[in-house]
Structure 1
Amino acid sequence: MMPTTPRSRRTVLRAGLVAGAALTATGTLTGPALGAVPTRSSAPGSAAPGDPFGLGVASGEPDASSVVLWTRLASDPTAEDGLGGLGDRSTDVEWEVAEDERFSRVVRRGRVRTGPDDGHSVHVEAGGLAPQRDYWFRFRAGRAVSPAGRTRTAPPAAAMTPLTMCFTSCSQFEHGWFTAYRRLAEEHPDIVLHLGDYMYEYGKGGYDAPGGNVRDHAGPETTTLANYRQRYGQYHADTDLQAAHAAAPWLVVFDDHEVENNWAGNVRELPVDPPGDFAARKAAAFRAYWENMPLRAAQRPRGSSMRLYRRVPFGGLVTFHMLDTRQYRGDQPCDDEFGKDCPSRTDPARSLPGSAQERWIADGFAGSRARWDVLGQQVFFSQVDFTPGAGRGFNPDAWDGYPGSRDRVVDGWVAATERGRARNLVVLTGDVHAHWAADVKRRFDDPSSPVIGTELVSSSITSGGDGSEQKKETAATLAENPHVRFYNNRRGYVRTRFEAGTMTSEFKVVPYVKKPGAPVETRARFVTEDRRPGLTPA
């Protein structure tokens, strides 16, 4: 998402201008239990200095028999070398998984070793678990014991177990407090999806919220591995974010700010600002991202390449198709100027996810046996004309910058439904710092075109500051786009409930983020019925 004062790299041009090894372990019930878990404050802010588990714990990538357990050791989260105050030392870390919160019924236990090559991070792929049940996990390093986290395995294949899922995006540390993460944790979801812009790359004051920032980034703009590790350390030290990670397993994908604003494939935002090799910057960013997320070894980056798109099934009810809309895209059209249109935008050869990923999406639809197929992705999928009246203007960084690519994805979906395979399409989106809901049409320029799916767009956790209920220009935009059913400019997240016959979506907001402790409120509620795509207010 572009900052408040956007920089167009094309405008500047015209003006003259990894290898982190996964720590994977099979569980064995040997050795002593870890002992009592110390009590930690639930107040917002940063964890206490000196605690090696001050970055919290997380889990992710659940299937019916395993889950990834994550932590990263750091006694000084914002150390300039990115190593969290632990330097070059290596550490043995014990872990255990239990059936109860008191850890009286431990079912898996093991030990791994981490050090500077991994950014002192730990990734355990804990297997041998039962499907469709809650577990609790924790770690120990020396005498220090981590807080406990809750995780949950997926149901067995074909099970239609209802699923509560929350999703969100865009948490700019400087723009506000992460209260929405804590409110999300209080929903007790079965799974959380984060759709990108987990952290922001700017140095202190490089991206100001309206009315000013309330916190400062540590360190300069992130360009090196040490910079990215330091920035993730600062974000992970936030106790509201830790609460969300400890509440449920996560599925994550990055967007642009985990590297730099509006990057596209091998094309950076600006040609010389900041200086340096872009491939090296991407390699550092990908490595730090993997180190700091509960991802499997299969997602470990190889230099400046990272296979992030993947499918995660939850029984027979939901399949999550997690997309990567950054690494393989062509450069944005129309000089990447928001609200513009140009002939190159409609070139059908251009692709947002890349041709290989487009085929992978179509293959997933063609082989689907899920009741709900969910695309977890980053940028607005539905068409949005931002120019009222005559003329048209689009966001070239979204799917509107690549409409031929969108048409191929939609046609793949329609072909699968005609063969009786795919059934309900749901697109989840982040990026735009506001809540939106839209009916996905087969062809947006054809008023008679049928609705073939549902798009839910989550607002940001903090990006954009407190926000407002509406923007003054919104009414004209909505009138231009009748398939858009809802808009709200507060911060927050979306809570969804998947059942065999319905998907219920609730748009949650916090009224402010520039001070901590905001309550959560529901701004809209919709129901989507099985085989009846689109949104019905509830």
Structure 2
Amino acid sequence: MPRPQPTQQDQDSQQEIRRAAAALGRRRLLTVTGAAAVLAFTTDLPGSAQAAEADARTAVRADPFTLGVASGDPQPGSVVLWTRLAPEPYEPGGGLPKARIPVRWELAHDRRFRRVVRRGTALAHPELNHAVHVEAEGLGADRVYYYRFRAGKWLSPVGRTRTAPAPGADIGELRLAAVSCQAYHHGYFTAHRHLAEEDVDLVFHLGDYLYEYAVDAHGGARGYTDRELPSRFDRETVSLEEYRLRYALYKSDPDLQAAHAAHPFLVTWDDHETENNYADDVPEDGGSSEDFLVRRAAAYRAYWENLPLRRPQRPRGPDMRLYRRLRFGRLAQFDILDTRQYRSDQAYGDGWHHPGPESTDPARTMVGAAQERWLLDGWRSSDTVWNLVPQQVTFSERRSNSTSAYKVSMDAWDGAPASRDRLLAGAEAAGVENLMVLTGDVHKGYAYDIKRDFGDQDSRTVGTEIVATSVTSGMDGEDRPSNWETYLAANPHMKFYNGHRGYVTVRLDKRQARADFRTVAVVTEPGAPVRTAASFATRVGEQGLHEV
């Protein structure tokens, strides 16, 4: 099917980004200062913004909260509150005038807002597609709060969030969940509906929040018969407007909205928020880096606009520092990684290949030198019981079979084993005793013991890896994929392998960490029940998974 012709607005947006990309140059040469921060690529909005301020009572003529509310990146006295005004979410601009619209917000101790603790007014800027990011400050540590927004006469749904404990707080337990890979066109977000009902303190989204691929009028595997999606979704996302609209499609899903309204999220991306299997400034098809950075800038900006992220994560051109550290009392430190923006281009292409000189080159990296130093420094200064690393692609070795001719994924850490070895050596030198890696990407649920030397299964177990399956990607899946026995035999450190959709919950305390793999059997139809496919635990000071 030929690609639909871009609208004039699409062309204007693309030209805006290209002009900015040309001004900024290639990512590795960027020096963004002052006037060089071109408006198309910056989220710093001066007080004298270009757009006039509108009266919300007249500018907003229909419910603008069609995309729900969200919160994220909790700190001991602060949390990010998010919404986006879009009375017509499937239309460019959301059906709003190009004007700044005041949005009132409230934060309370109770769901009925009888005990309001903070309130204020934020401006929804057209330059940011009328997204709102409120960094609510002056809050109590380790407290549950409820929040809502108002624009004109319209009131948003109520969201529930919580702040992090104080850095030195002696907390007894922490409950978290991890999700990844939610292709809209592969099914319903039933897992998110169940996640909304879980008793967890926070949720990690580990990447592939959306997919750049076309979504047809019937929603792909959803098979809509009662409505049709606009044809503008039936093409791959490239321009800023297309990425914005794709977020609107995903965030209009009621199950995803329910999960966001129930829990604070900590997010990181993988590849599909921009393009499949990209690496740094190298696109999937190996084309022009300059052209790809234009696309990457559009994707990064739309990502920030649509998720509850703080000011330090605002993109600058085709760059966005997403790796960051959060601490929950003395129990856990979270080092959230970005394994896309700084990595070496995949060896031998993007697929599975025998390890060889190209993939084993010591110079190869998954995270870049600066992020690697940041992580190792964070481990050296950590004094928490648990050190968790939420990130994107499979960290542990995953051989395709038990023969000497095995292959590994060049898109995962197996494609840059020297980078993995440096991190494991750094964790060992820092005295990190309770390491857990949280992973997404592969549309399967896995549980691994992390070996200091994967080539020697008798080597020390230095941590564990919990891989969250997809929310929908890959469609319904199955309990035991066809290569189930082969994988388990080839990888003795692999303790669990399941191919259904769902998410993972993890309960941390001072004695152990317990992971429950929560799965649904069907996503091509709505409403499937959730079950626990398996549960594993690892003890403090005694790394290694055992089934419970």
TM-score normalized with structure 2 length: 0.86
2:150 pairs with one of 128, 140, 146: 140
How far apart, in 1, do the equivalents of 2:414 and 2:266 lie?
25
Structure 2 residue 234 is matched with structure 1 residue 234: no
Q: Which residue of 1 aligns with 2:284?
A: 269
1:19 pairs with one of 37, 42, 57: 42
**Partner SS, residue 188 of structure 1:** coil
RMSD: 1.9
Offset at 1:276? 8.3
Structure 2 residue 443 is matched with structure 1 residue 428: no
Contact 2:300 / 2:315 at 8 angstroms: preserved in 1?
A: yes
What amino acid is aligned across from residue 524 of structure 1 in structure 2?
A
Q: Which residue of 2 aligns with 1:286?
A: 300
Give the 3 Å change call, closer, same or farther, for CA 348–188 of structure 1 in structure 2. same
How far apart, in 1, do the equivalents of 2:501 and 2:354 lie?
27
**Partner SS, residue 374 of structure 2:** helix
1:248 pairs with one of 250, 253, 263: 263
Q: Superposition pairs for residues 11-410 of structure 1, below 5 Å?
A: 18-21=41-44, 50-79=62-91, 81=92, 83-161=93-171, 162-204=173-215, 214=223, 218-271=233-286, 277-410=291-424
How far apart, in 1, do the equivalents of 2:286 and 2:233 lie?
25
**Partner SS, residue 345 of structure 1:** coil
How far apart, in 2, do the equivalents of 1:23 and 1:424 lie?
45
Q: Percent identity?
A: 50
Offset at 1:22? 7.4
Contact 2:401 / 2:489 at 8 angstroms: preserved in 1?
A: no
How far apart, in 1, do the equivalents of 2:290 and 2:336 lie?
30
Offset at 1:87? 3.9
Structure 2 residue 483 is matched with structure 1 residue 469: no
Offset at 1:20? 2.4
**Partner SS, residue 95 of structure 2:** coil
Offset at 1:272? 5.1
Contact 2:216 / 2:233 at 8 angstroms: preserved in 1?
A: no
Offset at 1:271? 3.7
Offset at 1:335? 2.0
How far apart, in 2, do the equivalents of 1:256 and 1:22 lie?
28
How far apart, in 2, do the equivalents of 1:111 and 1:205 lie?
38
**Partner SS, residue 148 of structure 2:** strand
Give the 3 Å change call, closer, same or farther, for CA 453–77 of structure 1 in structure 2. same
The structure whose residues are more often helix, as a share, is 2
Offset at 1:313? 0.4
Offset at 1:159? 1.9
1:218-240 Cα deviation digits (max 9, x unpaired)? 24211111000000001111010
In the alignment, structure 2 segments of 5+ residues that lack a partner are 1-40, 48-60
Q: Between 84-93 and 104-113, report the one with greater CA deviation.
A: 84-93
Q: Between 489-498 and 385-394, report the one with greater CA deviation.
A: 385-394
1:417-466 Cα deviation digits (max 9, x unpaired)? 1xxxx331000000000100000011101232100000000000000000
Offset at 1:179? 0.6
What amino acid is aligned across from residue 182 of structure 1 in structure 2?
R
Contact 2:457 / 2:492 at 8 angstroms: preserved in 1?
A: no
Q: Which residue of 2 aligns with 1:460?
A: 470
**Partner SS, residue 321 of structure 1:** strand
Q: Which residue of 2 aligns with 1:27?
A: none
Count of equivalent residues: 487
What amino acid is aligned across from residue 43 of structure 2 in structure 1?
G
What amino acid is aligned across from residue 470 of structure 2 in structure 1?
S
Contact 2:178 / 2:504 at 8 angstroms: preserved in 1?
A: yes
How far apart, in 2, do the equivalents of 1:513 and 1:434 lie?
14
**Partner SS, residue 375 of structure 2:** helix
Q: Between 385-394 and 164-173, report the one with greater CA deviation.
A: 385-394
Offset at 1:387? 3.1
Contact 1:469 / 1:490 at 8 angstroms: preserved in 2?
A: yes
Q: Which residue of 1 aligns with 2:535?
A: 525
Offset at 1:174? 0.5
Contact 1:177 / 1:513 at 8 angstroms: preserved in 2?
A: yes
1:68-97 Cα deviation digits (max 9, x unpaired)? 000001011111x2x211141321000010
How far apart, in 2, do the equivalents of 1:326 and 1:205 lie?
28
TM-score normalized with structure 1 length: 0.88
How far apart, in 2, do the equivalents of 1:104 and 1:439 lie?
49
Offset at 1:337? 2.5
What amino acid is aligned across from residue 285 of structure 2 in structure 1?
L
Structure 2 residue 506 is matched with structure 1 residue 491: no
Contact 1:334 / 1:341 at 8 angstroms: preserved in 2?
A: no
Q: Which residue of 1 aligns with 2:14?
A: none
Give the 3 Å change call, closer, same or farther, for CA 532–105 of structure 1 in structure 2. same
How far apart, in 1, do the equivalents of 2:80 and 2:335 lie?
18
1:343-386 Cα deviation digits (max 9, x unpaired)? 21100111010111111111111111111000010000000011
